Amino acid sequence: MDVASYARAGQYLGAGLAMGFGAIGAALGEGMTGGFTNRAISRRISMTPALTRTMLVAQAVAETSAIFALMVAILLLFTDMAEQGPCAWAAAIGAGLSIGLGSFGSGIGSGYPGAEATWGVSRQPAVAPQMTTNMLVSQAVCQTPAIFALVISFLLMFMDYSKDPMWPYSAALLGAGLSMGIGAIGSGWGGGETGGAACKAFARHPRTKTSMMTLMLVGQAVGQTPSIFSLMVAFILIFSNYSGQQLTLHSTMAPLAAGICMGFGALGPGYGNGLTSTKACEALGMRPQNSGLIMRTMLVAQAVAQSTAIYALVIAFVLIFVV
Amino acid sequence: MEEIGKVPHWILHFGNYQMVFDKETLIMTWIVMAFWVLFALLATRETKIIPNPLQSAAELLIGTWDELVKDSLNLTDRRYFPFVTTVFLLFWISNMLGVIPFLSEPTKDLNTPLSLGVMGFFVAHYSGIKFKGFKAYIKGYFEPIFFMMPLNIIGELAKVVSISFRLFGNIMGGSIIILVVSYLVYSLVLPPFLNAFFGLFVGTIQAFVFAMLTLVYISVQIR
């Protein structure tokens, strides 16, 4: 087989992976929003139009990550990557894995704020406009890991590797896709749960508006740190230069292993950080006067939970630069 | 599509050494600075008890940040307020600049967020040494057990990476998405909405997050 045929095969496989995995998360999140809206309507039937509107807005935002995956899948199907050289097949599969897996967490995550926002509006109708703002902000932040994954996908698809030999560059590109794709799941999901808890707590205690928004944003932002490590490892894998190396099996396996290590290493801490900030937002809803203490405890807990992502980062760096 | 990854440069030569400046980033940062200088001059030109619209906007902006800084630091003076607020104001307009045609966000260049992230790191650690004393500051690295020291140091350095890559990734990601979608739909219908979402909405949120995290890192150090 020639290079063009390899590239085309990689593109088809990548498109399938992108859209197949990418369809999971957003649909789950939207389903959850719809279910909670039904509950909310049955509680306060007079608000049916307002609740339906909130639900549709929330679902439209939750759909974003699936649209990212669709965009990448279409680009993979209808562009020609053959002229990008012998690594094009790996770049195409990596791009598909990155956005496919990476949109899973953000998709399911952005369902939580929508669900809790509709439920909260039915509980506290007076705060409906502010609740929509809170929901949209948390959903937008929750999309960040998916945006990172999309950036890596685009870099993989549009960069020029034509001068590079097939190995170990192909392994590095696959590793970059895996690192960002898997690494984005936890942060997206956890950030979404945080946004949901913030909406719930806001409905319980509407006067906490500013401090709740601040706590939610800080919690989500710190929770995204593991996915940022994944982004960094993916960048390093894409841009690093292997030209001086001798081609052996182990020099090929190292970049791929680094990607897998950072990807899975970021999954747990991302979701764990999200759990911490979820409970912090709930606690703020019950005791708004303790906002300083809650924020400090949350940050300490997240720093400790994040240490496993730092272990993974260290091992990934060793795999890239030392081994 | 060739725009991705192309950077216009100014190169200054000092004997054998050369300094490379990113032309676009420099000019755009100066535009942001000019905007805020102009805004400050206009807003404070005639201050009255009953303010004009510009003055009330400035008061709202400054007052909100004053409250936020006061709430999270619990200090009697305002020594960190100017720094944190300036970081927010700079990044806020920087992130929104891409909405205007022919201009681009200076935060799209990693150097901008990274330099302010490093600045925040030094401010936070200097404050930590000043408030807690050098001994207590060093002792913080040996907790909970002494051999956690290397990982604690990596954790502190990782804060700089995470704070700057978060802003950079969001803004660069937004601009790449706008570029690719505009190319796919021949610049019809969709780009204005994407510009509004990524430039105005995400840009504001990320600028707020950056300034807030700088503030949080300082407050963690001085307690």
**In chain B, domain spans:** 9-222
Burial classification of residue B11, based on how many CB atoms lie within 10 Å of its CB (0-12 exposed, 13-18 middle, 19 or more buried): exposed
Q: Which residues contact B71 (CB under 8 A, 6 or more apart)?
A: A211, A291, A292
List the domain boundaries for chain A. Answer: 3-322
The per-residue b/e assignment along B197-211, b for 16 or more CB within 10 angstroms, e otherwise, is bbbebbbbbbbbbbb
Q: Which residues contact B160 (CB under 8 A, 6 or more apart)?
A: B114, B117, B118, B120, B121
What pLDDT score was predicted for residue A239?
A: 85
Other Cβ atoms within 10 Å of B61 Cβ, number: 16
Per-residue pLDDT tens digits for B37-84:
999 999 888 878 888 888 899 999 999 899 888 888 888 888 899 999
Residue B137 CA, distance from chain mean position: 26
Q: Which residues contact A275 (CB under 8 A, 6 or more apart)?
A: A190, A193
Q: What is the torsional sign of CA B46, B52, B54, B55?
A: positive
Q: What phi and psi, each to the nearest 5 degrees, are found at residue B18?
A: -125, 140
Helix or strand (DSSP H, E) at B189 = none
pTM as predicted: 0.87
Min Cα separation A155/chain B (Å): 9
Min Cα separation A307/chain B (Å): 7
Min Cα separation B169/chain A (Å): 6
Please give the structure tokens belonging to residue B184: 């796919």
Strands B17-22 and B9-14: antiparallel
CA-nearest of A146, A24, A145, A163 to A84 is A163
What pLDDT score was predicted for residue B211?
A: 92
Q: Over 60: is that where the pLDDT of B6 sits? A: no
Q: Over 60: is that where the pLDDT of B3 sits? A: no
What pLDDT score was predicted for residue B198?
A: 87
Min Cα separation B41/chain A (Å): 29
Per-residue pLDDT tens digits for A47-88:
889 899 999 999 998 998 999 999 899 999 988 887 777 888
Identify which of A289-293, B117-121, B137-141, B195-199 has the greatest average pLDDT: B117-121
ipTM comes to 0.82
Rounded distance, CA B1 to CA B4, Å?
6
Rounded distance, CA A20 to CA A27, Å?
12
CB of A247 closer than 8 Å to CB of A168: yes
Q: Which residues of chain B lie closer than 8 angstroms to A231, CB-CB?
A: 165, 169
Q: Between residues B11 and B218, which one has the greater pLDDT?
A: B218
Q: Taking CB atoms and an 8 Å limit, are B166 and A159 in contact across chains?
A: no
CA-nearest of A294, A144, A168 to A227 is A144
Please give the structure tokens belonging to residue A8: 């085309």
CA-nearest of A250, A253, A256 to A237 is A256
List the end-to-end C-alpha distance of chain B, in Å, as a whole number: 49
Domain A3-322 has CATH 1.20.120.610: yes
Q: Taking CB atoms and an 8 Å limit, are B213 and A306 in contact across chains?
A: no
Identify the segments of chain A with pLDDT beneath 70. 1, 244-245
Rounded distance, CA B194 to CA B21, Å?
30
Closest chain B CA to residue A152: B173
Q: Over 60: is that where the pLDDT of B1 sits? A: no
Rounded distance, CA B101 to CA B1, Å?
18
CB of A21 closer than 8 Å to CB of A100: yes
CB of B55 closer than 8 Å to CB of B44: yes
Q: What is the mean pLDDT of chain B?
A: 86
Q: Taking CB atoms and an 8 Å limit, are B173 and A141 in contact across chains?
A: no
What pLDDT score was predicted for residue A231?
A: 92
Q: Does A314 touch chain B (CB under 8 A)?
A: yes
Please give the structure tokens belonging to residue A136: 């949209």
Q: Does A57 touch chain B (CB under 8 A)?
A: no
Rounded distance, CA A310 to CA A320, Å?
15
What pLDDT score was predicted for residue B5?
A: 52
Q: Taking CB atoms and an 8 Å limit, are B68 and A214 in contact across chains?
A: yes
